[in-house]
Structure 1
Amino acid sequence: MNVIDENGNLFGVVNAIDALAILVVLTVLTAGATLVLSGSNDRTQTSEPEPIRYATVSYTVPLTSDAAAIDTGTMISPSGSDETFQVEDVHRSFSNSSAHIVARVSYRGTPRANGGRIYGGDTIAMVTNSYRFRTTVLSVNDTAKEIRRTTVPVVVRASVDEAVARAIRSGQQVEIQNQTVASIQSVSRRSGTGNEQVVRVEIELAARTQKQVPMFGGNQIRLGSRISIVTDNFMMRGSVISVESRASEELSDRHTAGNEERSSDNPPDTIEQQ
């Protein structure tokens, strides 16, 4: 029996041209079904991005350093690593005559540096485009984007020379990189030893809270703690002799209860210019 007879029929039943057309249609339909199923599988396998988490780092640098001017939106990276973190919030205060910076940075997944996981308490060198600085990691996996803050009224007593005593005036707003860190409410003076005077200064400190404890300059604010205030006209370092027991908290409306910082905060960090 011939495959195609004298009438052009395949096996004497189906016209060969019709059979070829049917084969083409079946091929196209099979290919289309494969693409549809493949696309469905791709969508099924696509996972949601990991949620944003936050880490808190601190460091101490000179007041005039570029690192003291770090701001929201700045990208920082562990030295020698491809990992990047974005700065979301910054709190500034004084540590002696230097700037003490606490920054909250964002990331997805697991925070890493040089191939290893970052933990609270680690010390890591961070870099940006223009400088490098060593940070202490206060916490990781925070859920709050902003640093928790509070205003703490204190009274500080210090022995200073006469020129400094005259330069301290009530109503002064003390700033670091255009961020208000303290407000001098009142000052009283009395004679001290030699050319020194003893000043008693009421100050409202812009502090941050760590485990419900107010912090300034990397130290707890409490009786006997040392507080530094630096302006263009004077530097004063004295002891806290009074702390208002009920400080008013100034929390962001967007702040939600998250993980509190879990590590001590008193790093002797320095900056290295690149």
Structure 2
Amino acid sequence: MPLIDDDGDLFGVVNVVDALVALVLLAVLVAGVALVVNGSGSANVSADLDEPETRYATVELGDQPDYVVEHLSEGDTALARGWDSEGAAANVTVTDVSVIPPTGDQTNASADVTVRVVLEGVAPEDDGERTAFLVDGTPLTLGSELRLDLGTYATSGTVTALDSDEDALAPEETTTDAEVELRNVTPAVADGLEEGMSETVRGETVATLQSVESEPATVVLESDGGNIYEREHPRNMDVTLTVELATTETETGTSFRGRQLAIGTPIVLDFDTVTVDGEITALK
């Protein structure tokens, strides 16, 4: 049998023209696949691997010097870097600043600072899923150290919460009435407390004094014969305060200045002209 017969059919089965067209189409298809895999198409695949992502994080900065506390505020923008990274940084916006001042017996201590921030990074694709979140090329996870460069100063802290949903990290702000007992205070302190006094932190009211009740403090005396007597102190007073506190509700309970409230919890209140150290005896 001839290779091409009188009708132009290859082996008497397929028309030569049809066979050539099929070969050309097959060659074009193979070339197209090769271009996508090894050619310029690879740039598009690579670009899709580093999708820009936004995360919301809580960062505990811990004890900070006064100059950091004074400058740090909502709306600040910063560059966030992984602890050992020197590359290009991600953009960060501070959305909330929580400052816990030192308590009465920590006059030389620094304030404890926690911030919530919006982080811009990338989420590389892994087996079709985007599970990691990279900041400046470094994976950011719970417990990661994060350095914030704010231009005129820098600070660092630990990531304690990380979520793609902003509302998931926002605490529920509430108010709580608390009775605070001050025992055996001097007349100057007792007389210096007035209804309506307030404590402010960074311009926000965190505690308002609603009422003040005083009575003579008691002292326990022992006679020469070993008898025990309770007597009124000649000068000092026991004072009961009713205070409205700006609190937040968390999974663990009600917190004031980042610390959980409970009956028996010690509390320090700074009313500007007078600072008192008492104990919570009731929560309403």
TM-score normalised to structure 1 length: 0.60
**Following the alignment from structure 1 to structure 2, what is the Cα–Cα distance between the partners of residues 142 and 189?**
51
C-alpha RMSD over aligned residues: 3.6
Aligned ranges 1:55-94 → 2 under 5 Å: 55-61=57-63, 64-76=66-78, 77=80, 81=85, 82-94=89-101
Greater mean alpha carbon deviation, residues 115-124 or residues 179-188: 115-124
Mapped pair 1:53 → 2:93? no
Secondary structure in structure 1 of the residue aligned to 2:241: strand
| Matching residue within 143, 157, 161 for 1:135 | 157
- Structure 1 spans left out of the alignment, 5+ residues: 1-37, 245-274
**Following the alignment from structure 2 to structure 1, what is the Cα–Cα distance between the partners of residues 45 and 138?**
31
Residue 207 (structure 1) aligns with: 247
Asked if the contact 1:95/1:217 (under 8 Å) is kept, the reply is no
**Following the alignment from structure 1 to structure 2, what is the Cα–Cα distance between the partners of residues 227 and 63?**
23
Residue 96 (structure 1) aligns with: 103
Distance verdict in 2 for CA 1:62–1:42, change over 3 Å: closer
**For each residue in 1:118-137, what CA deviation from the matched residue of structure 2 results, as whole angstroms up to 9, or x when unmatched?**
44345656553344555343
Secondary structure in structure 1 of the residue aligned to 2:188: helix
Asked if the contact 1:55/1:105 (under 8 Å) is kept, the reply is yes
Greater mean alpha carbon deviation, residues 143-152 or residues 42-51: 42-51
Aligned length: 206
**Following the alignment from structure 2 to structure 1, what is the Cα–Cα distance between the partners of residues 40 and 143?**
46
Residue 127 (structure 2) aligns with: none
Residue 182 (structure 1) aligns with: 207
TM-score normalised to structure 2 length: 0.58
Greater mean alpha carbon deviation, residues 94-103 or residues 208-217: 94-103
User: What letter matches 1:157 in structure 2?
Assistant: E
User: What letter matches 1:243 in structure 2?
Assistant: L
User: What letter matches 2:182 in structure 1?
Assistant: A
Asked if the contact 1:59/1:101 (under 8 Å) is kept, the reply is yes
Shift of residue 90 of structure 1?
Answer: 2.5
Residue 139 (structure 2) aligns with: 117
Shift of residue 178 of structure 1?
Answer: 0.6
**Following the alignment from structure 2 to structure 1, what is the Cα–Cα distance between the partners of residues 216 and 62?**
34
- Structure 2 spans left out of the alignment, 5+ residues: 1-38, 105-109, 123-132, 220-232
Mapped pair 1:154 → 2:156? no
Secondary structure in structure 2 of the residue aligned to 1:163: helix
**For each residue in 1:97-146, what CA deviation from the matched residue of structure 2 results, as whole angstroms up to 9, or x when unmatched?**
56443321011342658x65344345656553344555343311252264
| Matching residue within 220, 225, 229 for 2:265 | 225
Asked if the contact 2:64/2:113 (under 8 Å) is kept, the reply is no
Percent identity (aligned): 21
Mapped pair 1:198 → 2:238? yes
**Following the alignment from structure 1 to structure 2, what is the Cα–Cα distance between the partners of residues 122 and 218?**
21
User: What letter matches 2:187 in structure 1?
Assistant: E
Distance verdict in 2 for CA 1:239–1:177, change over 3 Å: same
**Following the alignment from structure 2 to structure 1, what is the Cα–Cα distance between the partners of residues 186 and 61?**
30
Asked if the contact 2:248/2:254 (under 8 Å) is kept, the reply is yes
Asked if the contact 1:120/1:139 (under 8 Å) is kept, the reply is yes
Distance verdict in 2 for CA 1:243–1:111, change over 3 Å: farther
Greater fraction strand: 2
Question: Could you say which structure has the greater relative contact order, defined with CA pairs below 8 angstroms and 6 or more residues apart?
Answer: 1
Distance verdict in 2 for CA 1:42–1:212, change over 3 Å: same
Shift of residue 54 of structure 1?
Answer: 0.8
**For each residue in 1:220-247, what CA deviation from the matched residue of structure 2 results, as whole angstroms up to 9, or x when unmatched?**
1111112221232122222111111xxx
Shift of residue 217 of structure 1?
Answer: 3.0
Shift of residue 166 of structure 1?
Answer: 2.4
Which structure has the larger Rg?
2
